[in-house]
Structure 1
């Protein structure tokens, strides 16, 4: 069952999973469930950067997907957040508290060694993670042709 709208008590309540947040790529909703898009946001991050829980949650998944380590947290009410690439010692079923360490940025994925990709699904549908965080980070403009995401 899908909600008619995102629960307003969750909107804007999460903490960012990194210190010094800089958004490098926004959410781009796909036209259809199988269309191209960017189903999350990218935050500037280097391998080894500490990643923390944005809210109290339970680990839904911790492991490797294709070529990168992924951590997915269950926030209840059908809301899952995912972080990649993140190396974590946590296991499915572990509880995490807001601000608690959940792992470190690793390598792999579409912005290897340049970012942390954060995705949010509500009852299986991707939504913009910016709906859940406490403030929108400042925009980072990159030179044309940089392509590195840094």
Structure 2
């Protein structure tokens, strides 16, 4: 078979497995239950209610305009907590606002601003640990915090990691 034909055949088999699933159970056997997915250990960096003032807006290119995080309502002086277990990688001022960044397992880094941190670079934090209070400065000044997450340096939508966001469940198509 020519190389292109092999590539197309492999792609079609992969799509068929994804759409139709694996082999059907033998007569009289029950289908195996779907694998259990443990909930994410991530949580919102601010107390409820959890609303979005501005959602994540992926830029079309790495240097284009976009909104590389979510804006969550908050009040100056309100509590800020670590969204997940990690190590503080930065705590300080960036341009005109206090920023806190935490390095997490799996190549993830979360950042929140403006936050007057009570932790310093190198400190270990656990999900839910108080790490500071809502500060002032930046585009969220006195009305919200900006929460962003990078995966191996690329910004991702933080909502995909938060435990209180309902997960989509994809079901196989009927035969």
TM-score for the superposition, normalised by structure 1: 0.81
What pairs with 1:64-83 in structure 2 (closer than 5 Å)?
64-83=93-112
- Identify the residue that residue 103 of structure 1 maps to in structure 2: 132
Task: Provide runs of 4+ in structure 1 moved above 2 Å.
Answer: 9-13
Larger radius of gyration: 2
The alignment status of 1:16 with 2:41, answered yes or no, reads no
Matched position secondary structure for 2:43: coil
Give ranges in structure 1 of 5+ residues lacking alignment: 1-8, 138-150
Give ranges in structure 2 of 5+ residues lacking alignment: 1-36, 167-175
Q: Distance in 2 between matches of 1:48 and 1:96?
A: 20
Is the contact made by 2:80 and 2:134 (CA closer than 8 Å) also made in structure 1?
Answer: yes
| 2:83 pairs with one of 49, 54, 64 | 54
Give the structure with the higher percent strand: 1
TM-score for the superposition, normalised by structure 2: 0.70
Cα offset, 1:11, TM superposition: 7.0
Calculate the aligned-residue CA RMSD, in Å: 1.7
Structure possessing the higher relative contact order (Cα contacts under 8 Å, 6 or more residues apart)? 1
Is the contact made by 1:12 and 1:135 (CA closer than 8 Å) also made in structure 2?
Answer: no
Is the contact made by 1:87 and 1:105 (CA closer than 8 Å) also made in structure 2?
Answer: yes
Matched position secondary structure for 1:130: helix
Cα offset, 1:15, TM superposition: 1.2
Q: How many corresponding residue pairs?
A: 129
Matched position secondary structure for 1:34: coil
Give the structure with the higher percent helix: 2
